[in-house]
Amino acid sequence: MKLPILFSSVLLCVAAGFQSARAAILFTENFTDGALEGGADNSGIAWFNRSANTGTTVVNDAGGIGAGNALQMAITSTGAQANRGIVGKLSQVVTLAAPGDTLSLSFSFRLISKGGAAAPNDSGSTAGFTFGFYNSNGTPVPDGSVNSGASDNDFGFRGEFGSGTSARVAVFKEANTSAGGTGTGTDGLSVTLDTSNPVAVGDFLPHTASITLTYNSATDMGIVLTYDGATVGSGTSSVPYFDFDELVFSQGPSNGFILDNVVVTSNVPEPGSALLAALCGAGMLVRRRR
């Protein structure tokens, strides 16, 4: 009788190890239900504006990214209104704590014209289109609100691409210790890139992008950016952050944008999987003592 029980225990432990090692989809957001706050999308999350100077709506982007719905961030007032963005609130905090732990965001996007412009505005030497993972730092913005103050202390990592004719690729660790837009704060520390292939988003066509964080050690967080399937930037933060509960998207030179096919994956085990792995270890230890 002991052999079947032992065999079952081994299978459970193998399953637990496999679950914790492979990357799993935490959520996929296609905005199919037309809602900004999860709605009928089983894995949808809540999205909100960071500023009253922008308008966030779900639109049908036929002829753009795809035939279905997408999330649009449009400039709603006159003037430049640079560095305005949106935040997506994850349903749980993801903590990268063991070597090999990863967290990845991939999505489709396209810039949209403001005032009938024939091409995106140049980002110059400042931030163009930005995206990344952040920590709300104890002040999450309520669902569906328009509140910039609550997000001013958020911190995290962001990638940046240039727009118009200005080519740029960069990664920043943003502390947001002072007032400033999440995703565009002036207190961001540049992460030195080992791979740097500048990007200029110079049209209103669909593109894809991603940012992946990989925990290598307490002093080594690897960060990789891709654009249209190719790696365009990679580097390491030596004093990294580890806990994330937000997605942040923004833009610099008053270009609006549309998002779709937002996917977040991680190989960090869910609490149930971690507990199962711990129980397996304890069970195997007890059997050995017997």
Residue 84 has pLDDT above 50, yes or no: yes
For residues 146 and 172, membership in a common domain is answered with: yes
Residue given tokens 């163009």 in the structure block: 128
Cβ-in-10-Å burial (0-12, 13-18, 19+) of 11 comes to: exposed
For residues 193 and 209, membership in a common domain is answered with: yes
For the domain that residue 122 is a member of, what is the CATH number? Answer: 2.60.120.560
H or E element, residue 21:
helix 2-21
Mean pLDDT: which of 59-73, 128-142, 207-221 is highest? Answer: 207-221
Q: Quote the domain boundaries for residue 3.
A: 1-22+269-290
The type of residue at 102 is T
SS3 26: strand
For residues 44 and 187, membership in a common domain is answered with: yes
Mean pLDDT of the chain: 79
For residues 213 and 134, membership in a common domain is answered with: yes
| Tally of domains within the chain | 2
For residues 30 and 50, membership in a common domain is answered with: yes
Phi, psi of 82 (to 5 degrees): -75, 160
The pLDDT > 70 percentage for the chain reads 71
For residues 187 and 273, membership in a common domain is answered with: no
Phi and psi based region of residue 259 (left: phi greater than 0; alpha: psi -120 to 50; beta: remaining): beta
Which of 39, 116, 107, 80 shows the shortest CA–CA distance to 247?
Answer: 107
Among positive and negative, which fits the CA dihedral 253, 46, 267, 209?
negative
Which stretches does DSSP call E strand in the chain? 24-29, 46-49, 54-60, 69-75, 84-95, 102-112, 129-135, 155-163, 169-174, 188-190, 193-196, 200-201, 207-217, 220-227, 230-237, 243-251, 256-266
Q: What is the pLDDT of residues 4-47, one digit of tens each?
A: 444 444 333 444 444 445 789 998 888 887 777 655 555 678 88
For residues 229 and 276, membership in a common domain is answered with: no
For residues 184 and 280, membership in a common domain is answered with: no
H or E element, residue 285:
helix 271-289
